[in-house]
Structure 1
């Protein structure tokens, strides 16, 4: 199946010069999760609801300060490819292009995660919730502070926390998401400041709070309990319920996740990302490595390339490979009879999409150079994302909120 049937040609775009205040206003009055951003009439990237709401950027800044690049997809691409790109690109909206490989071009539509999942919903019945759910669940209690919840989101790199009234998980009283906390704190600070909390001066020129005041107010808000923010009416599923039924529950509750129960006790959590991930599985359950241009591969075997890619992935235990695509081409130039080979690797993982290419003499040499470039990208990303520094509430506020910006 390809994405043709789930392309939506109605979508909203904003120019990169659009003030951040208008972006926030656009999200507040709608259910859309992302806006497409154009620069000079060309597609440039997207701004997500969470980025717009949680950004430290002042309202007077422009949309280009929040834009993020996302993978592009062709109008006849496979649905599995769309699912992989959404996971690897950390996006739930993909722009559809006539030529997705071109640096510029016209957007002909978008593919949204919910539309994709609804389209494949009948096929999800072959799997049960237990097959994809996260069973090692991190929880909070109703009296846990918002600051501690934010620290947990960051440390565990998750976006949903079930709220339980007892340690054994028999009494699930709600769920709280990263976006719930961000929206609550942002809304309260805006209300307390009587407008834009990033503005230090009133229309009459007088002082209107300032950094110190906002810092104190945000600290107070972070001391509030999770019960002030959590959603009490949550959708639930069971370990043996089919994925299509689990999706029904998420759609019914307009949620991106569902609590998983076993005999009434908290057993796990399942998200729409888990459902997208299931779409990337092969019939054998593996993560295939596809090689294109096999006529130019003379020194390496498919198995060798697969093992070497797996070796790189194993160095980073928290990273899962969804799929790898290796493109091999031969150039006319030769060295002592050995042809110059160009290798391009696209590595789809749950931590991002890594793409690198290089040229060498012989497929073994070229493949090694390209894979080394992939590993450098992974290593740089891992280093950037890790911190051994203890996280306090003020640091969490700076990372997740724009209310402490100078």
Structure 2
């Protein structure tokens, strides 16, 4: 399936010098799938409605201040390659070009909707993310923000002292309460208002009840539920207890499954690949393979490496966070770390990954990867 079959022309092009108030007005009155930002006609990036909702940048700032980099997609590109490009670009929207001309945009939702009928061959337990980051009801918002940042996630399940699911906290929830508090008439200064919000317990902000999906549900059922509820992710629970969180399933997890290949060497997917400096994709793959080969009983089905840049720098080199996640015949295993530059961060994360691999050595997997999704999607 070519991307031209599902790409849309429902977008608006704006110059980077336009005020954000103009962009907000566009989303409110024209309801486009995305806004493409240009500079004197040259493509610069995208702005999504979610970005605006989750941002507190003043309306008098220019659109260029919020622009997000997104890969340029050829109109005849293959669906699986486009899914990979969206993941590696860490974006849900990208421009579609026909030659040098901007033709339209493609969204993650459009891709998932196009393959929805084929997703019933895969179950949630085959692709969900197990390494769950949670908070308790009395965790302060400030601490929750740090956890979101440190782990590169946009949602945190809230649990009680028994580990039972009681709510969900998302970046949107936090931004919403910050904006509401900042808009209130107050005698205090803005810094004081922010500190009061950061000291709020998660309980005051979290959403409840929580929509969940079972491990045994099909991925099609999960995606349909995400579309229905307008969610980007769902808490995964075992069938016998919907208050016991086992992990998270996001639209990105599903997109990632669409890119699985049956190549001779390990398939490594990299998010924010543009942050690679002194290390290449091939070096990353070989390094992970070297760790895996030490433990022959473990077969890796898929590897995902995510880089995230922080504002902090050392002699011009940015602080990078790296997360490595492997899906193996022994379950999921991950490692993360920070360093100045992508290579430094990757080495720290790789060391942590190897320690975690050692800990799970000897464990037998109850489920084997069946490859049903690949066979079905190859028919598209």
| Distance apart, 1:315 and its partner CA | 9.2
Tell me, in whole angstroms, the C-alpha distance in 2 between the residues paired with 1:111 and 1:128. 26
Which residue does the alignment assign to 2:285? 310
C-alpha contact (below 8 Å) 1:73/1:95 kept by paired residues: yes
C-alpha contact (below 8 Å) 1:87/1:276 kept by paired residues: yes
Tell me, in whole angstroms, the C-alpha distance in 2 between the residues paired with 1:77 and 1:5. 10
Which residue does the alignment assign to 1:22? 22
| 2:232 aligned residue (224, 232, 256) | 256
Structure 1 residues 274 and 181 mapped into 2: Cα distance closer, same or farther (>3 Å)? same
Tell me, in whole angstroms, the C-alpha distance in 1 between the residues paired with 2:115 and 2:11. 22
Write out per-residue CA displacement over residues 343-372 of structure 1, whole angstroms, 9 at most, x where no aligned residue: xxxxx95448xxxxxxxxxxxxxxxxxxxx
Which residue does the alignment assign to 2:247? 268
C-alpha contact (below 8 Å) 1:140/1:149 kept by paired residues: yes
Are 2:12 and 1:12 aligned? Answer: yes
Structure 1 residues 23 and 225 mapped into 2: Cα distance closer, same or farther (>3 Å)? farther
C-alpha contact (below 8 Å) 1:135/1:268 kept by paired residues: yes
Q: Secondary structure at the match of 1:83?
A: helix
Write out per-residue CA displacement over residues 40-89 of structure 1, whole angstroms, 9 at most, x where no aligned residue: 13322112345445556443221112222210111111111111111111
Which residue does the alignment assign to 1:97? 97
| Distance apart, 1:321 and its partner CA | 11
Tell me, in whole angstroms, the C-alpha distance in 2 between the residues paired with 1:216 and 1:306. 45
| Distance apart, 1:322 and its partner CA | 7.5
Structure 1 residues 108 and 123 mapped into 2: Cα distance closer, same or farther (>3 Å)? same
* Total equivalences in the alignment: 297
Are 2:175 and 1:182 aligned? Answer: yes
Which residue does the alignment assign to 2:42? 42
Tell me, in whole angstroms, the C-alpha distance in 2 between the residues paired with 1:267 and 1:52. 31
C-alpha contact (below 8 Å) 2:11/2:33 kept by paired residues: no
Tell me, in whole angstroms, the C-alpha distance in 2 between the residues paired with 1:131 and 1:22. 43
Tell me, in whole angstroms, the C-alpha distance in 2 between the residues paired with 1:44 and 1:351. 21
C-alpha RMSD of the superposition: 3.6
C-alpha contact (below 8 Å) 1:261/1:268 kept by paired residues: yes
Tell me, in whole angstroms, the C-alpha distance in 2 between the residues paired with 1:215 and 1:11. 37
Q: Secondary structure at the match of 1:9?
A: coil
| 1:134 aligned residue (125, 129, 132) | 129
Query: Which structure: larger Rg?
Result: 1
Which residue does the alignment assign to 2:160? 165
Tell me, in whole angstroms, the C-alpha distance in 2 between the residues paired with 1:287 and 1:74. 26
Are 2:184 and 1:223 aligned? Answer: no
Which residue does the alignment assign to 1:380? 341
- Which runs of 5 or more residues in structure 1 are unaligned? 100-104, 194-208, 290-304, 324-347, 353-377, 388-406
- Which runs of 5 or more residues in structure 2 are unaligned? 269-279, 293-299, 309-338, 349-380
| Distance apart, 1:287 and its partner CA | 4.7
C-alpha contact (below 8 Å) 1:250/1:256 kept by paired residues: yes
C-alpha contact (below 8 Å) 2:11/2:32 kept by paired residues: no
Structure 1 residues 286 and 188 mapped into 2: Cα distance closer, same or farther (>3 Å)? farther
C-alpha contact (below 8 Å) 1:139/1:163 kept by paired residues: yes
C-alpha contact (below 8 Å) 1:24/1:53 kept by paired residues: no
Structure 1 residues 123 and 283 mapped into 2: Cα distance closer, same or farther (>3 Å)? farther
Write out per-residue CA displacement over residues 173-215 of structure 1, whole angstroms, 9 at most, x where no aligned residue: 221112321232123213447xxxxxxxxxxxxxxx8xx8111
Equivalent positions of 1:5-404 (< 5 A) are: 5-26=5-26, 34-53=34-53, 55=55, 57-99=57-99, 105-169=100-164, 172-192=165-185, 213-262=189-238, 263-264=240-241, 265-283=244-262, 287-288=266-267, 308=283, 310-312=285-287, 350-351=306-307, 380-381=341-342
User: Which protein has greater RCO, CA pairs closer than 8 Å, 6+ apart?
Assistant: 1
Q: Secondary structure at the match of 2:81?
A: helix
| Distance apart, 1:379 and its partner CA | 7.1
Write out per-residue CA displacement over residues 202-241 of structure 1, whole angstroms, 9 at most, x where no aligned residue: xxxxxxx8xx811100000111122332221432111111
Q: Secondary structure at the match of 2:11?
A: coil
Q: Secondary structure at the match of 1:167?
A: coil
Structure 1 residues 51 and 10 mapped into 2: Cα distance closer, same or farther (>3 Å)? closer
Q: Secondary structure at the match of 1:231?
A: coil
C-alpha contact (below 8 Å) 1:321/1:350 kept by paired residues: no
